[in-house]
């Protein structure tokens, strides 16, 4: 039972990292793309908006994805710590159970 609990904690920690990195990439890409849209609507002409520089979108997406990925990794660390504590408790119980039965 404790192994299953520990595995769920580990999986949750991994998904937190992935989730934060994806959200950060989306925010970075939006921050790079939105000024182009705003500029288009401000001018009010019917020309299509200028394409944002692809490199700018990619760089901001990577930067924000990395930063939020590091934040997610820090949050996931708490789950990994709880996982290790659960596994240690399980091992302590396993090690002490045999000596208690001998008494």
50-84 pLDDT, tens digit per residue, is 555 677 778 888 999 999 989 998 988 988 888 88
Distances (CA, A) of 33 to 25, 39, 48, 99: 12, 10, 14, 65
The answer to whether residue 49 scores a pLDDT higher than 60 is: no
User: Residue 17: is it exposed, middle or buried by C-beta count within 10 angstroms (0-12/13-18/19+)?
Assistant: buried
Rounded CA-CA distance 78/86 in Å is: 12
Token pair of 103 as six digits: 């008494």
Rounded CA-CA distance 53/34 in Å is: 12
Q: What is the pLDDT of residue 33?
A: 82
Token pair of 30 as six digits: 């939006």
Q: What is the pLDDT of residue 67?
A: 92
Token pair of 51 as six digits: 């394409």
Rounded CA-CA distance 93/16 in Å is: 30
Q: What is the pLDDT of residue 30?
A: 86
Q: What is the pLDDT of residue 71?
A: 92
Looking at per-residue pLDDT, the higher value among 62 and 5 belongs to 62
Q: What percent of the chain has pLDDT over 70?
A: 79
Looking at per-residue pLDDT, the higher value among 102 and 2 belongs to 2
């Amino acid at each position: 039972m404790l192994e299953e609990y520990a595995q769920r904690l580990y999986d949750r920690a991994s998904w937190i990292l992935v989730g934060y990195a994806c959200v950060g990439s989306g925010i970075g890409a939006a921050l790079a793309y939105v000024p182009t849209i705003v500029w288009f609507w401000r001018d009010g002409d019917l020309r299509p908006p200028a394409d944002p520089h692809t490199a700018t979108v990619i760089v901001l997406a990577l930067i924000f994805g990395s930063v939020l990925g590091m934040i997610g990794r820090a949050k996931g660390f708490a789950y990994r710590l709880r996982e290790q504590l659960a596994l240690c408790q399980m091992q302590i119980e396993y090690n002490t159970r045999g000596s208690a039965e001998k008494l």
